[in-house]
Amino acid sequence: MLPTILKAILFLPWCLALPVPPTTDLEGWDFVKDYFHRFFLTKKALPLLTEGEQIRFLQQFFHLNVTGLLNKETLDILRRPRCGVPDVAEYSISPGRPKWDKHTLTYSIINYPYDMKTSTVKDIIHDAVSIWSSVTPLIFQQVEGQDADIKISFWALAHGDGFPFDGPGGVLGHAFFPNSEAPGIVHFDKDEHWSTSYRGINLFLVATHELGHSLGLFHSGNPNSIMYPTYEYQDLRTFHLSVDDIKRIQQLYGRKTFF
């Protein structure tokens, strides 16, 4: 059983803090403490938990074998590339669930990654928004320029929002929620090797994840969910939203109706 403090933290509003900046890679327990601080708790609350409690919490969250021991399985998943949005926030910047108050949303692609055709990126983003519109009444319309609900861009290292990227690996992207101070902003790390396949980092999978945040979805602890915080390639030929993804997006926007 997890201690009361962890149970309370687990049910606080998720992800309504801003994305978190990267940090230097540390070894062993120092790495775990840093990871826990960046994505789950502040340093003020961290001393309330023992090392074993922190490790058990992480193992439970990532659906690992809960041992309380810092084993290879736990370290391996913590070292995976992941989303920069924290998994549990201490507080919500606004009450209720974050969502758009309309069903027709515009999006724009401000700039593009290295070594990928503009037309390819446009097709990928179209496919990613279509994943979410296929199960909800949401309608997405691409527009040009900055005047859009969802603004998608690629940046390397520091890029003006206070949350710099860290080069290849590490944090792949971050997004801001509909009721945040920067609603609909979606950033990707331009230094990643973005691809359309299993090589490098598949842009479609990460874009679908970050767009989920821009629509109001928090991270999921379900490894089968596209909103799981760490990246793992999935075969695009068989990719589909999990039952968990569909249930949670429909709780925000309702089911798609067919006439």
Nearest to 135 by CA among 255, 3, 1, 6: 255
Catalytic option among 27, 181, 192, 210: 210
**Is the CB of residue 93 less than 8 Å from the CB of residue 86?**
no
Amino acid identity, residue 97?
R
Residues linked to residue 253 through DSSP beta bridges, in sequence order: none
**82 contact partners, CB below 8 Å, separation of at least 6:** 170, 171, 172, 229, 230, 231
Q: How far apart are CA 215 and CA 212, in angstroms?
A: 5
The answer to whether 210 is a known catalytic residue is yes
Token digits of residue 80: 């995976």
Pairing of strands 194-195, 150-155: unpaired
Please identify every residue annotated as catalytic.
Answer: 210
